[in-house]
Amino acid sequence: MRDFAKESLLSFDQPPTRMFMWPWEMMLRFNASMANAIQESTVTWAQRRQEAAEKAVETFERLVHCHDLGEAVSIQQEWVENNIRRLDEDFGAIAQQGATLSHRAATTARDALGKSSDVARAGARHADETADFVSRESEEGLESARQEAEEPRRNGHGRGRGRARNNNKRRA
Grade residue 80 by pLDDT with cuts at 50, 70 and 90.
Answer: very high
Average of per-residue pLDDT across 150-165: 59
Does any domain span residue 163?
A: no
Residue 125: name the closest of 10, 12, 15, 8 by CA.
12
Confidence tier at 5 by pLDDT (50, 70, 90): very low
Q: Do the domain assignments include residue 51?
A: yes
Q: Work out the pLDDT band at 54, boundaries 50, 70, 90.
A: very high
Query: Confidence class of residue 145 from pLDDT cuts 50, 70 and 90?
Result: confident
Looking at the domain assignment, is residue 59 inside a domain? yes
CB neighbours of 30 closer than 8 A, spacing ≥ 6? 105, 108, 112
**Residue 139 forms part of a structural domain:** no
Q: Taking residues 130-150, report their average pLDDT.
A: 74
Q: Which residue has the higher pLDDT, 41 or 164?
A: 41
Q: Is residue 145 in a domain?
A: no
Range of the domain at 85: 2-126
Q: Is residue 66 part of a domain?
A: yes
Structural domain tally of the chain? Answer: 1
Residue 17 lies in a domain: yes
How far apart are the C-alpha atoms of 69 and 57, rounded to whole Å?
A: 19
Q: Is 123's pLDDT higher than 60?
A: yes
Give domain status of residue 94, yes or no: yes
Lowest average pLDDT, out of 7-11, 17-21, 71-75, goes to 7-11
pLDDT at 160 over 60: no
Q: How far apart are CA 11 and CA 4, in angstroms?
A: 16
